[in-house]
A = this chain, B = another copy of it.
Amino acid sequence: MPSAAGRGQGQDRRPENEDSSAADDYAKERYGVSSMIQSQEKPDRVLVRIKDLTVEKADEEVWVRGRIHTSRAKGKQCFLVLRQQQFNIQALVAVGQHASKQMVKFAANITKESIVDIEGVVRKAYQKIGSCTQQDVELHVQRIYVISSAEPRLPLQLDDAVRPEVEGEEDGRATVNQDTRLDNRIIDLRTSTSQAVFCLQSGICQLFRETLIRKGFVEIQTPKIISAASEGGANVFTVSYFKTSAYLAQSPQLYKQMCICADFEKVFCVGPVFRAEDSNTHRHLTEFVGLDIEMAFNYHYHEVVDEIADTLVQIFKGLQERFQTEIQTVSKQFPCEPFKFLEPTLRLEYREGVAMLREAGVEMGDEEDLSTPNEKLLGRLVKEKYDTDFYILDKYPLAVRPFYTMPDPANPKTSNSYDMFMRGEEILSGAQRIHDPQLLTERAKHHGIDLEKIKAYIDSFRFGAPPHAGGGIGLERVTMLYLGLHNVRQTSMFPRDPKRLTP
């Protein structure tokens, strides 16, 4: 007769460390290695979430599934920390009515990161358990079954992986370097920090789309395999396509613009963007996620700038409101000041930014682009003066922008283009685009671009095109900078760079 615990999932494999005393083991039905879950049956057992195990549940008998985070045997007892995503609880297996000494030994020998089903009674803890998220309760184990075993040697320790670097340096305790993390990403992603980072990133995407749909935007899907490299062919990946060659899209821009020409008026898309750039920096990836916007406007591209800036503000606000737990979790490992922003968003002209830099001792020309150090310095100056981590730099020099950027009618040296910055780093680049085929042709010629190669692009504007503007946001950068992290590889689940293609 199967025990209640065994209902549905037989305990047909006995523990390997079973000893000769098994016959006398009064608890032998209460632990073991479950047979592989192959959907044999549908037991009506309810598994309670660890985060819901609070003093309100004291003295209740519950079933829980979790990973063995740590385990510590001590005489006739074994203390386990059972983990589920960002939450964990202490569990105690002690020789007594429910557990035999064999059962305690079995529990103590379960490898870290194994997944177990535990039946236990929730008990109020005598004193706060500082090392767990569920500090006021512990679980007194009555049954324990291994659902999936982890190999005994882990490639990295989760506790090391969440240790603040400062602590590691000061106390000589282990931390985990980035390559080890990335090589063993499925373990690294289990840390509370990683769980929080990627839940928050999911939230950024959700808030981005929620906001834009509320504003009347339509989501589009643009092709990633394209027949011609749109911007001259540099930094583009080549794909073999049946008997011919194709390219991976460096941006959805042409397609966003075609949708504007096709009267969708306000469009956005979320998708991969490919850059064959041999840049090995903290903020470049060869494949990243673009949050892209394009919008027809009535009379002035600032209509679009305002919509984009407000979308980012709604994201920042939404994160503050809905992801406070995640922000706190990440800050334990990577402390940083809360992200600050103004409403409405601060908009400076490029020349004002240059003036601030010059005042701070930087020498640069009016039509010179911002270097990365100058970008960061300007971010600090803006923060000091305006107390914001987010601002717009408008009216870039025409010379440093792509050929399709609309020139500023008021000044031949500047253009209707803008970048947006978070904590002094660029997260969005955008512009009013030229919607007139004649001017577009002139500007392409001026840039020395082969007109034949961009014929399809220019032809898109020949059948009536509304004035429009847009921009592309780098998702990983927004996540990184919002949380004050230091490398875009921390905010890409499976990052791709010139040296990394795996996992």
Which residues of A pack against B, CB within 8 Å?
8-9, 36-43, 45, 47, 65, 67, 84-85, 113-115, 147-151, 154, 185-190, 194-195, 198-199, 201-202, 205-206, 209, 213, 218-227, 237-242, 244, 246, 248, 255, 258-259, 261-265, 270-272, 274, 276, 278, 286-287, 289, 298-302, 406-410, 416, 432, 435-436, 439, 456, 460-467, 475, 492-496, 498, 501-503
The residues of B that contact A264 with a CB separation of less than 8 Å are 85, 189, 195, 198
Q: Which of A85, A219, A240 has the most CB of B within 10 A?
A: A219
The residues of B that contact A189 with a CB separation of less than 8 Å are 258-259, 262-264
CB distance from A357 to the nearest CB of B (A): 26
The residues of B that contact A501 with a CB separation of less than 8 Å are 225-227, 241, 244, 246
With A38-B406, A202-B220, A464-B115: A265-B493 Cβ-Cβ less than 8 Å: no
Whether B272 lies near A270 (C-beta < 8 A) is: no
Contact for A460 among B85, B186, B218, B416, CB less than 8 A: B186
Nearest neighbor of A146 in chain B, beta-carbon distance: B464
Whether A47 lies near B460 (C-beta < 8 A) is: no
Q: Which of A188, A287, A298 has the most CB of B within 10 A?
A: A298
CB distance from A493 to the nearest CB of B (A): 6
25 A-B pairs within 8 Å (CB atoms) are namely A36-B435, A37-B435, A38-B407, A38-B416, A40-B410, A42-B302, A45-B299, A147-B467, A148-B466, A150-B463, A186-B258, A186-B460, A186-B463, A190-B263, A206-B209, A206-B219, A221-B492, A224-B287, A225-B496, A225-B501, A239-B239, A255-B493, A272-B272, A456-B503, A460-B503
Whether A272 lies near B271 (C-beta < 8 A) is: yes
Told that A42-B302, A147-B467 touch, could you supply 8 new A-B pairs with CB distance under 8 A?
A9-B299, A39-B409, A148-B465, A221-B289, A221-B493, A224-B272, A238-B240, A259-B493
Q: How many copies does the complex hold?
A: 2
The residues of B that contact A265 with a CB separation of less than 8 Å are 85
Query: How far apart are the CA atoms of A430 and B163 in the complex, in Å?
Result: 39
With A150-B462, A302-B42: A502-B187 Cβ-Cβ less than 8 Å: no
Query: How far apart are the CA atoms of A299 and B37 in the complex, in Å?
Result: 6
Whether A218 lies near B239 (C-beta < 8 A) is: no
The residues of B that contact A466 with a CB separation of less than 8 Å are 65, 115, 147-148
Q: Which of A237, A238, A270, A501 has the most CB of B within 10 A?
A: A501
With A222-B493, A258-B503, A501-B246: A149-B409 Cβ-Cβ less than 8 Å: no
Query: How far apart are the CA atoms of A467 and B147 in the complex, in Å?
Result: 9
Whether B114 lies near A464 (C-beta < 8 A) is: yes
Nearest neighbor of A206 in chain B, beta-carbon distance: B213
Whether A237 lies near B240 (C-beta < 8 A) is: yes
Query: How far apart are the CA atoms of A460 and B183 in the complex, in Å?
Result: 11
Nearest neighbor of A467 in chain B, beta-carbon distance: B37
With A199-B218, A299-B45: A224-B224 Cβ-Cβ less than 8 Å: yes
Whether A286 lies near B185 (C-beta < 8 A) is: no
Nearest neighbor of A216 in chain B, beta-carbon distance: B49
The residues of B that contact A302 with a CB separation of less than 8 Å are 39, 42
Query: How far apart are the CA atoms of A122 and B273 in the complex, in Å?
Result: 46
Query: How far apart are the CA atoms of A213 and B189 in the complex, in Å?
Result: 20
Whether B186 lies near A151 (C-beta < 8 A) is: no
The residues of B that contact A42 with a CB separation of less than 8 Å are 299-300, 302
Query: How far apart are the CA atoms of A85 and B296 in the complex, in Å?
Result: 13
Contact for A36 among B37, B67, B151, B439, CB less than 8 A: B439
Query: How far apart are the CA atoms of A464 and B69 in the complex, in Å?
Result: 12
Contact for A502 among B41, B298, B456, CB less than 8 A: B456
Query: How far apart are the CA atoms of A327 and B502 in the complex, in Å?
Result: 44
The residues of B that contact A261 with a CB separation of less than 8 Å are 186
The residues of B that contact A227 with a CB separation of less than 8 Å are 501-502
Query: How far apart are the CA atoms of A448 and B401 in the complex, in Å?
Result: 54
Whether A8 lies near B299 (C-beta < 8 A) is: yes
Whether A151 lies near B462 (C-beta < 8 A) is: yes
The residues of B that contact A239 with a CB separation of less than 8 Å are 237-239, 248
Nearest neighbor of A301 in chain B, beta-carbon distance: B39
Contact for A209 among B209, B220, B409, B410, CB less than 8 A: B209
